[in-house]
């Protein structure tokens, strides 16, 4: 019984860490957008997947970026970088996949740089 709670706690804290990484990438992308100089209409944003070591550039137009940012639970990732245990796919295109967090919703709203 106690062990189960312990395991749940550990799982939750690692999920929180994943959500925090993603929130951090979102902060970085807000800065990229501020200084963006679109080439052929697209800007090289940072993939917003849960992997803290991911440094893949994902090109989005500013309109596409704004559409993702319209929901605080949405993130765009390089196709294949989605983690289906903690997020589900909202939409897919050739260049990027939009995912929505299943967990830590309160956390994502609290850390929304536009809140």
Task: Return residues touching Zn ion (CB under 5 A).
Answer: 47, 49, 54, 56, 78, 81
Closer residue to Zn ion in complex, CB, 49/108: 49
> Is 15 or 49 the residue whose CB approaches Zn ion more closely?
49
What CA–CA distance (Å, rounded) separates 111 from 74? 13
Q: Which residues, other chains included, contact 14 with Cβ-Cβ below 8 Å and sequence gap of 6+?
A: none
Least distance from Zn ion to the Cβ atom of residue 79, Å: 10
Least distance (Å) between residue 41 CB and Zn ion: 22
CA 60: distance to chain centroid?
14
């Amino acid at each position: 019984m106690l062990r189960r709670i312990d395991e749940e706690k550990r799982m939750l804290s690692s999920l929180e860490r994943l959500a925090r990484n993603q929130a951090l990438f979102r902060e970085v992308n807000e800065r990229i957008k501020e200084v963006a100089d679109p080439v052929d209409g697209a800007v090289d944003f940072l993939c917003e997947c849960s992997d803290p070591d991911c440094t893949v550039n994902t090109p989005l137009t500013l309109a596409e970026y704004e559409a993702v940012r319209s929901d605080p639970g949405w993130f765009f990732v390089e196709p294949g970088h989605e983690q289906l245990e903690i997020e589900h796919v909202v939409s897919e295109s050739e260049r990027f996949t939009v995912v929505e967090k299943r967990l830590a919703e309160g956390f994502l709203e609290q850390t929304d740089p536009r809140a």
